[in-house]
Structure 1
Amino acid sequence: MGQLFYGSMDEAIEVDDVLLMHAQAVAFTKLRRGESFLMSWKRPSGSGRETIWVQPSIPLRFIWDAEGDVSLDGRLLDELVQAAASMKGMDLSPRAPKLSAVPPIDVAA
C-alpha cells in the first residue's frame, strides 16, 4: 500500500501501489503543464469521502511499499486523465481488479 502526502498534511492518504504509481504519472503531467485538478478517495473509516484541490504550488509526496519499475496500464492512465479533467476529479478509491487482462505500457524502456 502506497502513501500520498499533500502539502503539510501529517496523515498519509493510503492508496494501492499500482494505482498510486498511475496517479503520480497523471498528476505530474498535469502539474508540469500548470493544470490544477480535484483528487478524492474514500475515507479509511469507510464513511464518507475526502477531496483535495491539487495545484502546482502545493507539494505532493509519494511513497510506495513496492520497489522497482512498474509497467503502466494505458487504459488506467486514460481513465485517470479523463477523470482529472472532469468536475468529479481523479478518484483514488480502491478498484475492482480488472487490470490483469490489459496489456501494459513499459515506461522504463
Structure 2
Amino acid sequence: MGKFIYDGNQKVEIEDRALHHLQVVITTKLRRGEPFLFTWREDASVGGGRSSVWISAVSDLVFKYASPGQADLNRHWIEALAFTANAPTGLYLVHEPDGAAKAEPGQPAHAYS
C-alpha cells in the first residue's frame, strides 16, 4: 500500500498500482499547467468521509510506494482518471476498467488526450 502525501501533512493510503496511475494523470496535468481538485474517500479508521485538495504547480506532492517496481500501466484507466480530472468535480479514483490495454514499450503512458 502506497501513500499520496500533499503538502507534508495530508496523507492517504492508496494501493501501489492505483497510485502509479494517479501519478501519471496528476503529473501530466501539472506539466500542462492545469490545476485541479483531487478528492478521495477516507478510511473508516480515520473517521471516514472524504477529503479534497486543490492541486497546482506550487503543491508539494509525494508519491510513496510500498513496492520497488513499477506497475504496468493501463491506458484505459489513465484515460478514465483523466476524464474525471478534467470534469468540474475534479480527479477521483475510479475502478480499473476490464480488458486492460497496456501502454506499449517506448510510448509515454501520459500521452492521452
Question: How would you bin the TM-score normalised by the shorter chain?
Answer: 0.7 to 0.9
Root-mean-square deviation over aligned CA pairs: 2.0
> Aligned equivalents of 1:26 and 1:107: distance in 2?
18
Shift of 1:66: 1.8
Aligned length: 105
In the alignment, structure 1 segments of 5+ residues that lack a partner are none
> Aligned equivalents of 1:79 and 1:92: distance in 2?
9
Which letter does structure 1 place at the counterpart of 2:32? R
Shift of 1:44: 1.0
Q: Which runs of 4+ in 1 moved over 4 A?
A: 106-109
Identity %: 30
Contact 1:41–1:50 (Cα < 8 Å) also in 2:
yes
What are the within-5 Å matches in structure 2 for residues 1-109 of structure 1? Answer: 1-9=1-9, 11-45=10-44, 47-92=48-93, 95=95, 98-99=97-98, 101-106=99-104
TM-score by length of 2: 0.81
In the alignment, structure 2 segments of 5+ residues that lack a partner are 108-113
TM-score by length of 1: 0.84
The range that moved more, 66-75 or 80-89, is 66-75
SS of equivalent to 1:72: coil
